[in-house]
Amino acid sequence: MVEPIYQSTKLQREKWIKEASFNLFNLKSEQVVIDLLTDSGTGAMSDRQWAAMMLGDESYAGASSYYNLKEAVKNITGFDYFLPTHQGRAAENVLFSVLVKEGDIVPGNSHFDTTKGHIEFRKAKAVDCTVDISADTTTWHPFKGNVDLEKLENVLKANPAEKISCIIVTVTNNTAGGQPVSMSNIREVGKLSKKYGVKFIIDSARFAENAYFIKIREEGYADKDIRDIAREMFSYADGMTMSSKKDAIVNMGGFIGFRDEELFRKASTFNIIYEGFLTYGGMSGRDMNALAQGLYEGTELQYLESRISQVALLGTKMKEYGIPVLQPFGGHAIFLNALEFLPNIPREEFPAQALAIELYTEGGVRAVEIGALMADRDPETRQNRYPELELVRLAVPRRVYTDNHIEYVAASVRNVFERRAHINRGVKITWEAPIMRHFTIALEKL
C-alpha cells in the first residue's frame, strides 16, 4: 500500500508531544512524519498477499485458509502441529498457560517485554542468560544475541526440571539490539534442553532475519538456502511462538508451532478459550492466507538482502556523523546509545526517553525507548530497574520507506546530536501502570 506522509512543524510537534504526556505511544499517526516506532505490523503487503486475501475462506471450522497456513508453517518451520493466534503475545499467553506456573523459572537470552510480562504475571521469573558481550555497544561480534551456555547450564543445574517452564531463545534478540543468535548456539541450547529434560521454545518473530545473519556470518552456511537454515534452527527446538507481524510481513497474526502432539493438545484448550477455534484462532481466513504467503516472501534471500541493507544504511549514516550506535547494526533496527548521546542526563531522568522526545520534536521521527522505562520496576522490590543499556530504537518497517526517507531520519538525528550539549534534563514519571508501564506512562519534562 502507498500511504501518505504527514508533514508538520516543530512548533506543532512541541505542542502535540506535551498533549501526549511525552509518551510517543500517545501520538496520533498524523502527528508523525516518519514512523520508526516499530517494525511490527507496519510492513507493506505485496500484490500476492492482497490477492491471497481475496481467496480467504471464512468458514468457522476447517477453512481452506487454515490448511493453507498449516502447510506454509510446516514447509518453513518443519513443525507438524500448529495453532493460529491473533498475534505474538497471544501465542505466549496460550503456550505459557500450559507451561508456566507460579514460582517457575524461564531462562533464555533476553526475553521481549511481552514475554517477560506473561512470565511475571504468572509469578514466575525470567532469567536473562545473554552473553556478556551484548552489553558492549561497540565491539564487533557476529552473534551478540547468543545465550551464554554456562549461565544457562548453571540455572538448569541449580533448579529441578519441574521448576523450569522452558528455555526461550528469541531470534533475533530484539532487547539486545536486534542481534542474531548463531546456529551453533541454538544447537547447543537444544542439547542442554535434552540433557536436563526441559522444553526449548524459540520466540521466532524475526527468525528469517536471524537465518540471513547465519548465512552471511556463520561458517558453513554461505551456500545454504534461507529456508533450509530456518528449518535447521527450528529442528533443535520443541516449539515456537511467532509474531507474524514481523518476518511474515502481515499487519496482524501469530501462531504457535509444536513438535509433540501432547503439548499441542493441552495448548488447544487454552487457544479455544482465549483466541478462537483451532482452525482460526483470532485470525480471519483472509488474514491466514496473507500470512501463509508472507512466510514465503519473508524468507526470500533478495528481499532479506534489501531489507537488512536498508537498516544498515541508516546505521552507516549515523556512524558517519559520529553518533553512538549499537554495533553491529541490528537486523530490524538501529539502536542509539542514549547514555553516550546525552551524557548530561542522569539515569533517573530516563535519557533514552528524553532522546526519543527530541527526535520527535526535531523531525517528527517516532522511535521507541528501550531502557529503564521499558525495563519496568522489579516485581518484588518495586524499585526501578536500570538495564545496562539505555537505548533508543529506530525500527524500520518492511517494504515501506525509501532510502530517501532513511536519509531524512539520519539528518534529523544529526541535528539533535549537534545540539546535544544543550540537552541537560530528562523526564519525570507522573503516572504509571503496575506492569508494562512504558505503553501508557505519563511523563513531565524536567
Catalytic residue among 113, 238, 287, 376: 113
The catalytic position among 35, 39, 203, 247 is 203
d(CA 293, CA 378): 41
Identify the active-site residue in 22, 79, 82, 112: 112
User: Does residue 280 carry a catalytic annotation?
Assistant: no
Please identify which residue in 68, 130, 170, 327 interacts with ligand F0G, judged by CB under 6 A: 170
245 binds ligand F0G (CB under 6 A): yes
* Shortest distance (Å) from residue 173 CB to ligand F0G: 8
Contacts of 249 (CB under 8 A, 6+ apart): 43, 44, 45, 46, 49, 294, 297, 298, 398, 399
User: Catalytic residue at 113?
Assistant: yes
Question: Which of the following is catalytic: 20, 52, 176, 205?
Answer: 205
- Binding to ligand F0G by residue 130, rule CB under 6 A? no
438 is catalytic: yes
Size of the site for ligand F0G (CB under 6 A): 15
- How far is 320 from 410, CA to CA, in rounded Å? 10
**CA separation for the pair 260, 251 (Å, rounded):** 29
Q: Does 293 bind ligand F0G (CB under 6 A)?
A: no
Q: Which residue is nearest to ligand F0G (CB)?
A: 88
| Distance separating alpha carbons of residues 323 and 320, to the nearest angstrom | 8
Distance of CA 363 to the CA centre of its chain: 25
Task: Point out which span in 110-118, 228-236, 294-302, 308-316 binds ligand F0G (CB under 6 A).
Answer: 110-118
Residue 60 annotated as catalytic = yes
Q: Measured from the CB of residue 420, what is the shortest distance to ligand F0G in angstroms?
A: 26
Least distance between ligand F0G and beta carbon 174 (Å): 4
Binding mask 32-71 for ligand F0G (x = CB under 6 A): ------x-x-------------------------------
Cβ proximity to ligand F0G, 38 vs 412, nearer residue? 38
Report the nearest approach of ligand F0G to the CB of residue 20 (Å).
18
SS3 content of the chain, % helix, strand, coil (to 5): 45, 15, 40
Separation of alpha carbons 414 and 431, rounded Å? 32
Residue 203 annotated as catalytic = yes
Q: Does 243 interact with ligand F0G (rule: CB under 6 A)?
A: yes
**253: helix, strand or coil:** coil
Q: Does 297 bind ligand F0G (CB under 6 A)?
A: no
Under the binding rule (CB under 6 A), the answer on residue 174 touching ligand F0G is yes
What does the chain come to in residues?
A: 446
Window 180-239: residues binding ligand F0G (CB under 6 A) = 203, 205
Which residue is associated with the grid cell 521454545?
201
Check residue 85 for interaction with ligand F0G (CB under 6 A). no
Rounded CA gap, 425 and 253, in Å?
40
Task: Based on the residue annotation, tell me whether 15 is a catalytic residue of this protein.
Answer: no
**DSSP 8-state assignment for residue 122:** T
In the complex, the smallest distance separating the C-beta of residue 154 from ligand F0G, rounded to whole angstroms, is 24
Q: Phi and psi of 173, rounded to 5°?
A: -80, 95
Among 87, 137, 193, 284, binds ligand F0G (CB under 6 A): 87
Own/partner long-range contacts of 97-105 (Cβ < 8 Å, ≥24 apart): 97/267, 97/270, 97/274, 98/263, 98/266, 98/267, 98/270, 99/165, 99/166, 99/199, 99/201, 100/124, 100/165, 100/166, 101/165, 103/163, 104/163, 104/164, 104/165, 105/155, 105/159, 105/163, 105/164, 105/165
Nearest of 307, 308, 314 to residue 407 by alpha carbon = 314
Residue from 82, 96, 112, 143 touching ligand F0G (CB under 6 A): that is 112
Give the residue from 93, 68, 85 showing the smallest Cα distance to 294: 68
Active site members = 60, 112-113, 203, 205, 246, 438
Contacts with ligand F0G by CB under 6 A lie at 38, 40, 87-89, 112, 114-115, 170, 174, 203, 205, 243, 245, 254
